[in-house]
Structure 1
Amino acid sequence: MAQLKVHNSLTPGGTVPFLPLEEGKVSWYACGPTVYDHSHLGHARNYVSTDIIRRIMRDYFGYQVKFVMNITDVDDKIILKARRAKLLELEKSKTYTEPELAKLAATAFQSYAEGNLPELLKDGSKLSPRNYAERRDAAYGKVLAGGTLNGEGKPGDAEAKMKMHLSNLTAASQAIQENKVFGGADEVLLPYLDSLYKDSIDGKDHTIFTKVTQYWEAQFMDDMDNLNVMRPDYITRVTTYVPQIVTFVDMIVEKGFAYEADGSVYFDIAAFEKAGNPYARLCPNSRNDKALQEEGEGSLSKNLGGKRGPCDFALWKKSKAGEPVWPSPWGEGRPGWHIECSVMASDILGSQMDIHSGGIDLAFPHHDNELAQSEAYYCSHGQVHNWVKYFFHMGHLSISGSKMSKSLKNFQTIKDALKNDYTPRAMRIVFLMGRWNDGVEISPDMRKQAEGWETTINNFFTNTKSLIMQSKSAEEGLKTLSINGKSGGLHETLEKAQSEMQSALTDSFDTPRAMRILAEIVRDANKHDSEPGSATDITGLKSIARWITKMVGIFGLDANASPPYEGLGWTNTASNAHLSTKEIVEPYVKVYQSVNSEVERLALHSDSLDALMAEDVDTKFSGLEASGTKDSEALAMPYLIAVSKIRDELRRIAPNSESKKQILTLSDRIRDNDLTDLGVYLDDRSVDQGALIKFVPKAELLAQREEKAAKEREKTAQKEKARLERERIELEKAEKAKLSPMDMFKDDRFSAWDDKGLPTKTKEGEDVPKSALKKLGKEWERQNKLHQEWKAKSG
């Protein structure tokens, strides 16, 4: 097998061989979510892509993977979310007069604008919900129209943030004017209430915060289950690791790589580098990026002082009023963001791990700080310690040029996406079509491309299963066959695809190439099957279909399948365990009997048709029943094949039969009604080939039937509309024809006429111009012709 190579963020510039610490085993820590809001498509991109690689490593390369993921259930965002929710709950319990509530809302409205959108207040006058819209359009009209604030370049995160704040103020403005402050204006009310009452929150009452995080963690896990993301082998939570975090930090202090300042503990980057350790190994160019450093420290930590170096970061934070607290040697406080992963990963995986993964936006400062503090903890006697061998960073998802994030509120939740736009499989296909470490831009083409790929695979599975079941032995066709079975020309096609797949997946899990390989082998198999005069290579098709089934299973595209993925096609979840075999086939038997009755009623006197109707279908079914199978499709095949053959014969004799109309009506009814209602589609081929029986989800067939019926109704309606329009025109024409040409110009436009009724004088008494007389004469001739025809018809 070719050597697996991977993109490793620690060694940029290409792929490197993947050589785990222990042969055949992989230790892996993935940064999990910060749980305080809905999970969005950006999270789906990260965790689905991670899941794809994890599955490939386990099910394709055969590694034993130990997978750990953390849940961040305490950080600045969570503290703010939980604290503000509690304060809002308390505020709603108060009794307010209408003027008091209006004053509170107006003050909060002004405060929110001052803090986030100062352009609204440039003229110095007071902002109010009533004058807000006018000022908004004047100050931020360009941004709202899709431009940038300075009129240059493309909009990015800054513009997305402005739009979020503007959206909050717009909603609040309307709500306040409608006296619906609570509910409609919460987004501007919450930060104001927090500024007033945050000190009243008891930091020792951790339930204020865990109540929020436990709810959102459950929502996240539900989203992951719906996306067929495998659960981690180990889940760790920060709040259950605080004592271990304190011990870990204390060791770093003892080694001289951290220091206490005013109740907080900071990592000493200068001391770390002085000891020969590199810092910011992942993103050396970002080490002095103040904006990223502040984001990493959190919005509540801006005023914590005492740092020796500007890049030093907090391992332990002194808790301010309104923040959760835990005891420590440095006083009451809480863990820094980065330290949590170091402690939890080390607790499960030890002093070294093979893989650490997360979104690309975590590379700096989060992962760089993780590396530094962990390697400071483990290094000894001046020896540099490598904590992580391979860093995998998933490319982020963007929308309109801006990273999709909860803080920017420019996201589509996973729940909404699955409800309105994607199936779980379609979403995974989209991510498979992009490299895991590249960014993905949301676009309509993404879904269209994914839908096309899925349709190709669906059709191939359906057609292959149909051909197998209609081959000489349906029972034999359903038995397990090695995916490497010899099968003529298609065997070489399969071997080539398998070799290419090996090459793609060993090249740092190149799933876009892998998806193309699967689509191409389907194309080649279809081309082989459709070549004129060639016999269908059932064995070859079956081998290819089973290999594709295995690969889509490995990629996690079949939520109902499990390793080693040895079936054929998508897993059928319908359970017939509670039914007898006769109960399973009863609907198909009824259709078979109904078709026989209808054909007998037609009395067609066809020897070939009589022979088909005399076949002992029940005996064929009994043979399958005796085999012990509960596969509804296999059990139904004797009756479906009999119905299909009878219908094929009806189609053959119809053109020369006196009952042609009745035969074709029955043929259509069998296909469009009887079998559609069973989730069976007859794909009509040439009369000699006969129809191909396909099992298709009933809902899909019914939707297609309704779409076809709707088109017919629309066609009929258009015909009726056209008929009515023709009748209207004919009536108008007939009504016009009743008018004698002698009278057609006798109106106030003229004042004199000749003996034919043609005008000679205008209403002013002047002669009608010759040019006008010529035109009027032509009109007179046309009307005279119409009038004479009408007189002749009316007698």
Structure 2
Amino acid sequence: MNLFQRLARSRIPTAARTAIRIRSLRGYSTSSPPPAMEPLKLYNSLSPGNPVPFTPIEPGKISWYACGPTVYDKSHLGHARNYVSTDIIRRILMHYFDYKVNFVMNITDIDDKVTPTVRIIIKARRQRLLDLEKKKTYSADELRALALAAFQAYAKSSLPLLLKEGEELTEANYAERRAAGYGKVLAGGTITGEGKPGDDEAKVKMHIGNMDAAAEAIKKGEVFPGADDILLPYLDSLYKETIDTADQTMFTDLTQSMEKLFMDDMDALNVLRPDVITRVTEYVPQIVKFVEGIVNKGFAYEAEGSVYFDIAAFEKAGNTYARLRPDNRNDESLQEEGEGSLSKNLGGKRGAGDFALWKKSKAGEPYWSSPWGNGRPGWHIECSVMASDVLGSRMDIHSGGIDLAFPHHDNELAQSEAYFCEHGKGEHTWVNYFLHMGHLSISGSKMSKSLKNFQTIQDALATTYTSRNMRVVFLLGKWNYGVEISPDMRSQADNWETTISNFFTNTKSWLAEADVTGGVKALSLDGDRPQEGLLAELEQAKSELHAALLNSFDTPRAMLVILKLVNATNVFLKDNKDVNLAEVEAIARWITKIVGIFGLDANAEPPYEGIGWASPISADVDPKTAVEPYVCVLERIKADVSALTLSNGEAMPALLAQDPVSEFESLAQAGSRDLEKLALPYLRAASKIRDELRRIVSSQSPETKKALLSLTDRIRDQDLTNLGVYLDDRPDNQPSLIKFIPAAELIAAREEKAALLAEKARKKEEVRLAAEKAKQEAREKAKVPPEELFKNDERYGAWDEQGLPTKMKDGSDVPKSQQKQLKKAWEKQKKAHEDLKAKGGL
């Protein structure tokens, strides 16, 4: 169903069936949430199971630290899932539950957590080495030899099934080896042949993609840039120790540019900026002091220039390690991942699970001075120091992606509680509530930069989603659950957004038609009488949504409540003749507030008191300048109508004399920055002129009638559509409804309609041409005398005087059954020939 069809089905019942009553109503708030009878409850990873009551350290205030991005590449939809879901919770706490939130987020601009290929340090270093390599002078043979060496090294490291003992892997035999070793994975299977594909298979496909590009580049002799992905690790293995890391701009230049892109992406997604942003490179001195503090308390030790957290000593003192994921504490693969590939070959650890707080730097790695020698911070210590520096020894909320629970967040907790604990006084609580956002998955695999199975936020917003639509998708899933993008989920999100948008559009249209400009912001009730009709639906929706948000921000339930209320309102409008438009407006205002709180309107600001998606004028644009396009359209319409000679047009002079300026100025002087309200006086004037033209069109001369129809269509489909305004024509001389819809949607619908009409005309023309061709062919065939019809048919060898075949080519008689068919065709040809002759066609 296209846009115009949806609009046609979403009209208010006609005036003949519906009496719209407006009255002054006060006393019933449509904005503030109902008083909380139950406490807010949160899913807390520190207390697995059901949601637990939320009690902030300081009443009315919340301290919150969120693990931010490691900025080494463009952000993808997996990041959007994390940070948009975090933003939704933050907005609900601030604008629904009225908490004052101090939101702190870090930017990791130096890191060694490599899983499994590149992060900031390695990517920056490898890129520097590749840039240097490209400046060298190579012969074609030398460049090919370099590429093949990297090709084989990459296969050995990442795709060992490509290799055969005693046989060199080259671009010539690569495709055959790939099919033999990884054909099942490429066909959608698993490496083991069992279960469903996951991260391991995604990694294989990523590596094969790199090898495919390299093989093609080697074939063409164009090694750069086609083979870059395999050259990066190979060159790093050869020359990483030659890089002088005293100049840390190699790393910070990369991260600063990526941080800007990340912030731009968050702005595009309508994610609120953090109150405080911390960066690792700005905190190294504090990190060194923090590590010294842990060492001094006996919970860490130095070994070979690195400092490790002593889990055994920590637990012996009565503390708990791995509080978030106790079952994972002995998982060696997770421990190794947490330490990062740059920590390999660092020795001296007392316990297998002990993790680095400070790491001795090796050649090719960035470093800072410390009491233990040149080194760099461990991954986990960064967040502990930055969060504690801003929020102190305790915080209400710490959040991040679910993949960070162990070891990152568990290690954060341990080292922070070790730093702040006082011996003999029991365990220290550093974080009260840990919130972990669920993954976003594609084809069963976590979306990840390192797996290269991601769509960047920039690309998604340019091709697939709008910011609002993406947020709706995430709102329809629980923040702590995994989300897998599917066609059904996208369809559900699209339908939700369309339904709500249509309701807003229609409500504003009905209010404009009823000439309600001030708005009905509150409703009064008669005593304690139970509410009925739409007011009862609104009260029920408020109660249900409040309960949903109290239950750990259950946004899927909240979104369903909103949808049910809109559907119930639409049914009520359809089935009831006597509709109180003030009640409809109250519902629209409440829904507007909630979707504003959810961050679904990038143009709206608290307290979200309007109706529908906001269209404010930019602060640096004068209202008169903003409405100029609408003024121009009205003046053009007036000029075109004045040039017509109309009969039965007595009402037109008064309509052409309309001057909306005074109404506009009154709104502007009152301080309105709502473009729709400011433009409405001009649109009403234009719509009334067009409605009158439609009313009198049947009484005009044919020539004038044609001109009028063309003009009314142009006003609706061109002039106003280009401004984001749709005139919904109604029968029985009712005035058109003015509907504000994004111009891009209207133009797309107009182009779709034009394309459908063009396709219909094309098919009609094809049918006409086919019929004409068949007619011409029949005419040409009719020119042949019946006596000559079968003379050139090589199947036959003899004919009678009428030209009918008597013998087959082999001398046998023509079968009797065939003789009947031939006679019938001969008679038909004779009639066609004689008819053509009678018409003078011969």
TM-score range, shorter chain: over 0.9
Tell whether 2:812 aligns with 1:771.
Answer: no
Contact 2:595/2:601 (CA < 8 Å) preserved in 1?
yes
- Residue 422 of structure 1 corresponds to 465
Correspondence for 1:288 among 330, 333, 340? 330
- Residue 391 of structure 2 corresponds to 349
Amino acid at match of 2:320: P
Supply the distance in 1 between the matched residues of 2:427 and 2:164 (Cα, whole angstroms).
54
Instruction: Give the CA deviation at 1:146.
Output: 1.5
In structure 2, do the counterparts of structure 1 residues 558 and 617 end up closer, same or farther at CA, with 3 Å as the change threshold? Answer: farther
Alignment of 1:491-506 (within 5 A): 491-506=535-550
Correspondence for 2:495 among 435, 452, 455? 452
In structure 2, do the counterparts of structure 1 residues 4 and 484 end up closer, same or farther at CA, with 3 Å as the change threshold? Answer: farther
In structure 2, do the counterparts of structure 1 residues 164 and 677 end up closer, same or farther at CA, with 3 Å as the change threshold? Answer: closer
Query: 1:434-457 CA deviation, whole Å, 9 max, x = no partner?
Result: 110000112233333222222222
In structure 2, do the counterparts of structure 1 residues 93 and 632 end up closer, same or farther at CA, with 3 Å as the change threshold? Answer: closer
Instruction: Give the CA deviation at 1:539.
Output: 1.4
Supply the distance in 1 between the matched residues of 2:712 and 2:288 (Cα, whole angstroms).
78
- Residue 13 of structure 2 corresponds to none
Alignment of 1:408-419 (within 5 A): 408-419=451-462
- Residue 154 of structure 2 corresponds to 112
- Residue 717 of structure 1 corresponds to 762
Query: 1:490-537 CA deviation, whole Å, 9 max, x = no partner?
Result: 3322222211111111111111111122222222222233335334x3
Secondary structure in 2 matching 1:742: helix
In structure 2, do the counterparts of structure 1 residues 789 and 633 end up closer, same or farther at CA, with 3 Å as the change threshold? Answer: same
Supply the distance in 1 between the matched residues of 2:752 and 2:686 (Cα, whole angstroms).
25
Instruction: Give the CA deviation at 1:678.
Output: 4.0
Correspondence for 2:347 among 284, 305, 316? 305
Contact 2:106/2:277 (CA < 8 Å) preserved in 1?
yes
- Residue 93 of structure 2 corresponds to 57
Supply the distance in 2 between the matched residues of 1:619 and 1:419 (Cα, whole angstroms).
41
Instruction: Give the CA deviation at 1:754.
Output: 2.4
Tell whether 2:792 aligns with 1:751.
Answer: no
Supply the distance in 2 between the matched residues of 1:182 and 1:661 (Cα, whole angstroms).
64
Secondary structure in 2 matching 1:462: helix
In structure 2, do the counterparts of structure 1 residues 207 and 632 end up closer, same or farther at CA, with 3 Å as the change threshold? Answer: closer
Amino acid at match of 1:545: A
Correspondence for 1:614 among 654, 662, 681? 654
Amino acid at match of 1:704: A
Instruction: Give the CA deviation at 1:165.
Output: 0.9
In structure 2, do the counterparts of structure 1 residues 488 and 673 end up closer, same or farther at CA, with 3 Å as the change threshold? Answer: farther
- Residue 141 of structure 1 corresponds to 183
Amino acid at match of 1:501: L
Instruction: Name the TM-score, length of structure 2 as normaliser.
Output: 0.89
Amino acid at match of 1:482: K
- Residue 431 of structure 1 corresponds to 474
Supply the distance in 1 between the matched residues of 2:639 and 2:611 (Cα, whole angstroms).
32
Supply the distance in 1 between the matched residues of 2:313 and 2:333 (Cα, whole angstroms).
23
Tell whether 2:741 aligns with 1:696.
Answer: yes
Supply the distance in 2 between the matched residues of 1:594 and 1:718 (Cα, whole angstroms).
39
Structure possessing the higher relative contact order (Cα contacts under 8 Å, 6 or more residues apart) = 2
Tell whether 2:768 aligns with 1:726.
Answer: no
Instruction: Give the CA deviation at 1:116.
Output: 1.0
In structure 2, do the counterparts of structure 1 residues 467 and 440 end up closer, same or farther at CA, with 3 Å as the change threshold? Answer: same
Alignment of 1:305-704 (within 5 A): 305-382=347-424, 383-471=426-514, 474=515, 477-483=516-522, 489-531=533-575, 533-535=577-579, 537-575=580-618, 576-577=621-622, 579=624, 583=628, 586-594=631-639, 596-597=641-642, 601-603=645-647, 605=648, 609-611=649-651, 613-614=653-654, 618=658, 621-626=661-666, 628=669, 632-652=675-695, 654=697, 659=702, 663-704=708-749
Instruction: Give the CA deviation at 1:29.
Output: 0.6
Tell whether 2:297 aligns with 1:252.
Answer: no
Supply the distance in 2 between the matched residues of 1:350 and 1:246 (Cα, whole angstroms).
17
List alignment gaps of at least 5 residues for structure 1. Answer: none
Amino acid at match of 2:294: I
Which stretch has the larger CA shift, 121-130 or 657-666? 657-666
Instruction: Give the CA deviation at 1:683.
Output: 0.4
Amino acid at match of 2:298: G
Supply the distance in 1 between the matched residues of 2:467 and 2:665 (Cα, whole angstroms).
36
Instruction: Give the CA deviation at 1:406.
Output: 1.1
Which stretch has the larger CA shift, 744-753 or 282-291? 744-753
Contact 2:782/2:833 (CA < 8 Å) preserved in 1?
yes
In structure 2, do the counterparts of structure 1 residues 744 and 589 end up closer, same or farther at CA, with 3 Å as the change threshold? Answer: closer
Amino acid at match of 1:448: S
- Residue 28 of structure 1 corresponds to 64
Contact 1:595/1:643 (CA < 8 Å) preserved in 2?
no
Instruction: Give the CA deviation at 1:704.
Output: 2.4
Amino acid at match of 1:478: T
Supply the distance in 2 between the matched residues of 1:107 and 1:483 (Cα, whole angstroms).
75
Amino acid at match of 1:53: I
Supply the distance in 2 between the matched residues of 1:26 and 1:592 (Cα, whole angstroms).
56
Supply the distance in 2 between the matched residues of 1:373 and 1:85 (Cα, whole angstroms).
34
- Aligned pairs, how many? 785
In structure 2, do the counterparts of structure 1 residues 116 and 542 end up closer, same or farther at CA, with 3 Å as the change threshold? Answer: same
Amino acid at match of 2:109: D
Instruction: Give the CA deviation at 1:776.
Output: 2.2
Supply the distance in 1 between the matched residues of 2:169 and 2:651 (Cα, whole angstroms).
89
Supply the distance in 2 between the matched residues of 1:639 and 1:39 (Cα, whole angstroms).
44
Instruction: Name the TM-score, length of structure 1 as normaliser.
Output: 0.94
In structure 2, do the counterparts of structure 1 residues 98 and 381 end up closer, same or farther at CA, with 3 Å as the change threshold? Answer: same
Instruction: Give the CA deviation at 1:377.
Output: 1.5
Identity of aligned residues (%): 63
Supply the distance in 2 between the matched residues of 1:50 and 1:749 (Cα, whole angstroms).
83
Contact 2:627/2:678 (CA < 8 Å) preserved in 1?
no
Instruction: Give the CA deviation at 1:107.
Output: 1.0
Contact 1:483/1:544 (CA < 8 Å) preserved in 2?
no
Instruction: Give the CA deviation at 1:238.
Output: 1.4
Supply the distance in 1 between the matched residues of 2:298 and 2:69 (Cα, whole angstroms).
32
- Residue 40 of structure 2 corresponds to 4
Query: 1:332-370 CA deviation, whole Å, 9 max, x = no partner?
Result: 211111111111111111111110100000001111111
Query: 1:421-477 CA deviation, whole Å, 9 max, x = no partner?
Result: 111111111111111000011223333322222222222222211211221xx3xx2
Secondary structure in 2 matching 1:170: helix
Supply the distance in 2 between the matched residues of 1:289 and 1:540 (Cα, whole angstroms).
59
Tell whether 2:63 aligns with 1:19.
Answer: no
Amino acid at match of 1:72: T
Contact 1:26/1:354 (CA < 8 Å) preserved in 2?
yes
Contact 1:144/1:163 (CA < 8 Å) preserved in 2?
yes
Amino acid at match of 1:672: D
Amino acid at match of 1:377: Y
- Divergent runs of 4+, >6 A: none
Correspondence for 2:833 among 778, 787, 794? 787
In structure 2, do the counterparts of structure 1 residues 114 and 483 end up closer, same or farther at CA, with 3 Å as the change threshold? Answer: farther
In structure 2, do the counterparts of structure 1 residues 658 and 113 end up closer, same or farther at CA, with 3 Å as the change threshold? Answer: same
Instruction: Give the CA deviation at 1:142.
Output: 1.3
Instruction: Give the CA deviation at 1:23.
Output: 0.6
Amino acid at match of 1:342: S
Supply the distance in 1 between the matched residues of 2:677 and 2:72 (Cα, whole angstroms).
49
Correspondence for 1:268 among 295, 310, 320? 310
Supply the distance in 2 between the matched residues of 1:570 and 1:617 (Cα, whole angstroms).
33
Instruction: Give the CA deviation at 1:61.
Output: 0.4
List alignment gaps of at least 5 residues for structure 2. Answer: 1-35, 113-118, 526-530
Secondary structure in 1 matching 2:559: helix
